[in-house]
A and B are shown apart, each in its own frame.
Chain A
Amino acid sequence: MRRLKCYTLGLNKPILAKVTHNTQKRKLRSDYVLLAKEKRLGNCKGYQAVIVEEARAEIYGEKLKNLPLIVVSDGLDELNEHDVVQIITNANELLIPYECQSPHNGLFLTSSCNSRCVMCPQKPKPDSEDRVRFNKRLIELIAPGPEYLTLSGGEPTLLGEQLIYLIEACRNKLPQTKLMLLTNGRKLKEISFVNKLARASQGYLAVAVALYADTDLEHDKIVGASGAFEEALKGCNNLALYGFQIEIRIVIMELNYMRLPQLADFIYRNLTYVSHIALMGLELQELAKENLEKIWIDPYQYQSQLLEACHLLLRRGFRVSIYNHQLCTIPQQLWPLSRKSISTWKNIYLPICEKCQEKPNCGGFFTSALTRHSEHILPINI
């Protein structure tokens, strides 16, 4: 998530609150931090804290009595009304777990996972804090909520009953929001759990299941867990039984690009109910970075497989999207399938991209592309 450098004065407990520029009614103020840009500062009683830019820190510092002050050196303009900010005591970072203006909001439910995917950009680890309580509060703060919200991890289904609890909370507090659960599908082999998911989500939950190959030989190797392929397919069938809208997500890497068309055909033959298929590029963080040489393939080199797979899927009536790719690396015919899928805070372009006509339509790079990117990045000028 986006982070801003900051320091705090008088802060003695963690903060999780909505940002406001305006004066709020007294009884609502405990949900807010006040972003003070005006010279004059009225009565601030009741807010969790006040955020100011560095230049005004001294002026305000004196006026605020028992109220913590958050001083942000740079990037205050990026905070919008009703964004949610978080500060962990003693930290010098202002975290922004929810950005109103972003189309890519999500709840990060857990850091732990039951798989060890070779290209994972977020190394699984046990959760150090109570993420369920945190997310419950976050759900309350973002109400009435965005149009779309992803539920991700780690592997969110590992939360079990607590995932059901959070989905119910979403249904109560964010009745208009469409939820998308990102999962490896393995725990969904338990039909009783899928039944609970269905009851809690009442049709407002789509599920994106990761599938990386058309056989267990390859899929299980990629995700580092034997039996994972069978479990994921069982999971998909269970989801279909309960009428979930199902998306399949395929990360393309050296280990699986050769059989993309075959994987597409496998999905058509065996998971006929799938509505959307996302073909995704690598994000080179953490495990992916450690395994770089094993997983890296220049997208330019799998153009023919990507084209064939997309063509096959489109003919058969699937919706297809390409995520995390640069337009100059994929066949031009597929440009209409490319989506700007990278969260704004970690979405970059290279200096060479400035000369490209298509930059506004291009998904660009993850910041991690500085580690490695395609050797075929070229400005497009038609």
Chain B
Amino acid sequence: MKNQKKYKFLPFNFMRLNGSTLVTNMGGDFQILSNETFDKFINYNICPTDSIYLDLKAKQFIYNNSPNLPIQLLATQYRTKKSFLRNFTGLHMVVVTIRCNQKCKYCQVSSEDSDANEYDMTPETAKKCVDLIFNTPSPYIKIEFQGGEPLLNFGVVKYIIEYAEEQNHKYDKKLEFVICTNLSSTNEEQLEFCKIHNIYISTSLDGPAKIHNQNRIMENKCGSYKEVIKGLQKAQSVLGKDKISALMTTTRASLGKFPEIVDEYISLGFNSIFFRSLNPYGMARKYQEIISYTTEEFVSSYCQGLDYIIDLNLEGTLFIEEYARLLFKRILTPFATGFVDLQSPTGAGIGGAIYDYDGRVFVADEGRMLARKGDTQFLMGHVDDGYKTLFGGDVIRQTVASSCVECLPQCCDCAFQIWCGADPVRNYTTQGDLIGYRPTNEFCKKNMALIKYLLKKIHNAHDEVLDVIWSWITGTCINLNNLSETAENK
């Protein structure tokens, strides 16, 4: 019978992929349909006896009687996906100095010389930062020390950690510290302190010497590779390998060489890497011509690197690419992820905030770069202003209100919407306003390409590859041929 509707729709987004159509529901669940089936679906031509009818119903794309149950299920899914919002700001980045002993070509924060002490945070400001941080309603607090090179102002790092721990007797939060250091000036005393206080180290390593040394350069103009490796090994032996992770930044020098970089990471004892693309801020702009590349070039390098890593896993080496893990988790699980740079609404301010050496507070790292050039768009205020003024102020409100992909042009119809996020700070920097313009937005272009690639991976994957992907998500590798090791015998 024509025009008789056998079912009704619930909200969904769709996207044409190569020869098929992806449909996603509000909670992040998805189905890939043939184009023909999709056309039947939207024209009410799927019959209740088709198995695809049950698929679409079970995943809350359609309903036939009351919408009560599917709406409740979607509500729960949506709430689960957005549960990162429950706790408010948990990540607090403290810039204890903007002095640095390195002059990296892509540095996004344009640092000062290592003897320019007027760029250090004072203990008075540090105390105010900690007092402010403990105002957060979040039960988890991560204090991340950034710079410059934070260890050049180790006294204040130490002060903050000890003072925060003391304060925490009163607040009883889950408190964690991370020092982001290039490890080239680390000494025994600092590492011993890190050990006693259970501190994590996040360092920067771009790959083998010939890649790393092209961009990460000491003040004396020599590459920093040797110093970093020395510092890394020292840190690993004092703190244990699990306490130290590394970030790589992709430059022109590393394009197409991701497998070599991975090998370098593995040989140094790391079990994960984050293939990070260049941020268009700070020094990176100045050196753009030498170090930068197109989004397409990055994506193709990324995919090559990811394939290489998955193959390594298939051969038995447990090694993870962190951005893929994040996106896989978003696509394949009903859960939320805490990555502040790709959230909707944005993690800027409400997920993480940054305290500059002079006590000014910004919604994101890039905000202080803009401020140095006189643009205070992302300046929430000063530590003296108090928690309510800073975290309830116009800057954080405006930033967050402009960053819900559900109501941003083009994002609002995108089938990847629930897995993706907005970056208003980058939109502002690269395109002049918080909303941005998607057709020429490189951030959007990159994430679209990566998500498409991961979807293809999931869709075409053998069981073994899916086992690898799930082992990244859950941290446990299931081997169907040897279940007795993982299963309980009850």
Show the binding face of A for B, using Cβ within 8 Å: 214-218, 229-230, 233-234, 237, 258-259, 262, 266, 268-270, 272, 307, 311, 314-317, 319-321, 333-337, 339
Contacts and interface: CB of A to CB of B under 8 A. Distances in A.
16 contacts: A214-B54, A215-B58, A234-B72, A259-B51, A262-B54, A268-B333, A269-B27, A269-B29, A307-B480, A315-B470, A317-B476, A319-B488, A321-B490, A333-B480, A333-B481, A336-B484
Given A217-B48, A233-B69, A319-B488, A314 B57 contact: no
Contacts of A216: 65, 69
A311 B463 contact: yes
Contacts of A215: 54, 57-58
A218 B486 contact: no
Given A217-B64, A336-B487, 16 more contacts: A215-B57, A230-B69, A237-B76, A258-B51, A262-B58, A266-B58, A269-B59, A269-B77, A270-B73, A311-B463, A311-B480, A314-B483, A315-B474, A316-B474, A319-B488, A336-B484
Nearest to B470: A315
Contact of A233 (B27, B29, B73, B480): B73
Contacts of B483: 314, 333-337
A233 B70 CA distance: 11
Most buried by A among B68, B466, B487, B488: B487
Given A217-B57, A337-B483, A337-B487, A229 B48 contact: no
B478 interface: yes
A333 B483 CA distance: 7
A268 to B, nearest CB: 7
B54 A218 contact: yes
B476 A229 contact: no
Interface string B46-72: 001001001101110000110011001
The 5 closest A-B pairs by CB, nearest first: A214-B58, A315-B470, A336-B484, A336-B487, A336-B483
A315 B64 CA distance: 32
A334 B470 CA distance: 19
B80 interface: yes
B467 interface: yes
Contacts of B487: 314, 320, 336-337
A272 B58 contact: no
Nearest to B475: A317
Nearest to A313: B478
A333 B479 CA distance: 9
Contacts of B80: 272
B334 interface: yes
B335 interface: yes
B490 A339 contact: yes
Contacts of A269: 27, 29, 59, 77, 334
Nearest to B480: A333
A315 B466 contact: yes
Contacts of A214: 54, 58
A182 to B, nearest CB: 17
A270 B490 contact: no
A361 to B, nearest CB: 10
A71 to B, nearest CB: 39
A270 B29 CA distance: 10
B24 to A, nearest CB: 12
A48 B487 CA distance: 46
Interface residues of B, number: 37
B64, B72, B480, B486 interface centre (most CB from chain A within 10 Å): B480
B391 to A, nearest CB: 30
A317 B480 contact: no
B37 to A, nearest CB: 16
A314 B69 contact: no
Contacts of A316: 333, 470, 474
Interface string B440-470: 0000000000000000000000010011001
B330 to A, nearest CB: 13
Nearest to B68: A230
B318 to A, nearest CB: 15
B422 to A, nearest CB: 25
A229 B484 CA distance: 34
A216 B62 CA distance: 13
**Central interface residue in B51, B54, B333, B486, by most chain A CB within 10 Å:** B54
B294 interface: no
Contacts of B58: 214-215, 262, 266
B489 interface: yes
Nearest to B471: A315
Contacts of A336: 483-484, 487, 489
B76 A314 contact: no
A234 B55 CA distance: 21
B481 A317 contact: no
A314 B478 contact: yes
Contact of A270 (B68, B76, B467, B484): B76
Given A215-B57, A262-B58, A336-B487, A311 B478 contact: yes
A250 to B, nearest CB: 14
Contacts of A229: 69
A266 to B, nearest CB: 5
Contacts of B29: 269
Contacts of B474: 315-317
A337 B484 CA distance: 8
Contacts of B480: 307, 311, 314, 333
Nearest to B29: A269
Contacts of B467: 315
A272 B54 contact: no
Contacts of B489: 336
Nearest to B73: A270
A343 to B, nearest CB: 16
A229 B63 CA distance: 14
Residue in A233, A270, A316 whose Cβ sees the most chain B Cβ within 10 Å: A270
A335 B55 CA distance: 29
Interface in B322-355: 333-335
Given A233-B73, A333-B483, A259 B54 contact: yes
A33 B481 CA distance: 51
Nearest to A361: B489
B320 to A, nearest CB: 16
B221 to A, nearest CB: 50
Interface in B209-240: none
A315 B478 contact: yes
Contacts of A270: 73, 76-77, 334
Interface string B15-35: 000000000000101000000
A272 B334 contact: yes
A43 B375 CA distance: 101
A217 B54 contact: yes
Contacts of B57: 215, 217
A6 to B, nearest CB: 35
Contacts of A266: 58
B471 to A, nearest CB: 8
Contacts of B463: 311
A230 B480 CA distance: 33
Contacts of A337: 483, 487
Nearest to A314: B478
